[in-house]
Chain A
């Protein structure tokens, strides 16, 4: 049973436009969510996180939105740049005391 789902395996966006990556979760106990970016042959790099007490967190070009009632979060990248092309993983945990549960990832391609 997949507790964290990223239903879009891939996404293509033009440079300068907005990229929106989506993530759904089923476990209502999750209260902390993270996004990681991964380039080939490298480990995932932490991007941004959000606690369930918030509905939005912003860091530069990256904004994460959390909709607890829908058990849905999204990562917005504005403006998208070619260097953003990577696989993005959504992850969730319970109070930081349980292992991170990852989605299967979405491959973002930003086209110049």
Chain B
């Protein structure tokens, strides 16, 4: 069974640009969540999508947005990049059938804003 796939693995952008990250969940998983990891801050929740609908949203500015497609694949977009957006962005998928809550993470996309 293939795991969670995130593309690209690494990305360098300049301030003011926008970026789109992609996540393909484990087959059959309908929930996709996005997290930002920065040094000293742990993993901070960005948003969660389930059946193409944003179900939960973290405390991030509107420059951070996402969407989910009918095949459960998800994209995350960050507009008007700032230096502080440099981080590891992690995507996690889960079954969400009420019997288990373990989220399975991809390897992440390392975004560097210069």
**Chain B: interface size category:** 20 to 34
The reply on B41 being an interface residue by CB < 8 A is yes
Chain B nearest Cβ from A105, distance in angstroms: 6
Chain B interface: which of A10-18, A62-70, A94-102? A94-102
CB of B103 within 8 A of CB of A100, answer yes
B103 touches A89 (CB 8 A): no
Stretch at the interface among B42-50, B66-74, B79-87: B42-50
Given contacts A99-B56, A100-B45, A41 and B101 within 8 Å (CB-CB): no
A32, closest chain B residue (CB): B101
Contact indicator B90/A44 (Cβ below 8 Å)? yes
A93 & B45 in contact (Cβ 8 Å cutoff): no
- Is there contact, CB below 8 Å, between B108 and A43? yes
A22 nearest CB across to chain B (Å): 15
Contact of B105 with A104 in the complex, beta carbons under 8 Å? no
- Closest chain B residue to A93, Cβ basis: B101
Shortest CB–CB separation between residue A23 and chain B, in angstroms? 12
Partner of A103, one of B4, B42, B48: B42
Residues 64-114 of B contacting A (Cβ, < 8 Å): 90, 92, 96, 98, 100-108, 110
Digitize A32-68: 1 where CB-to-B-CB distance is under 8 Å, 0 elsewhere.
1010100001111110010000000000000000000
Q: Which residues of A contact B42 (CB under 8 A)?
A: 89, 102-105
Query: Quick one: which of A32, A43, A104, A105 has the most chain B CB within 10 A?
Result: A43
5 closest residue pairs by CB, A with B: A96-B101, A43-B105, A104-B42, A102-B43, A99-B45
Q: Which B residues have a C-beta under 8 Å from some C-beta of A?
A: 4, 6, 33, 35, 40-45, 48, 56, 58, 90, 92, 96, 98, 100-108, 110
14 contacts between A and B (CB under 8 A): A34-B102, A41-B107, A43-B4, A43-B6, A43-B92, A43-B106, A46-B103, A49-B101, A49-B102, A99-B45, A99-B56, A100-B43, A100-B45, A104-B41
**Known contacts A45-B105, A100-B103; can you find 7 more A-B pairs with CB under 8 A?**
A34-B102, A34-B103, A43-B6, A99-B45, A100-B92, A101-B45, A103-B42
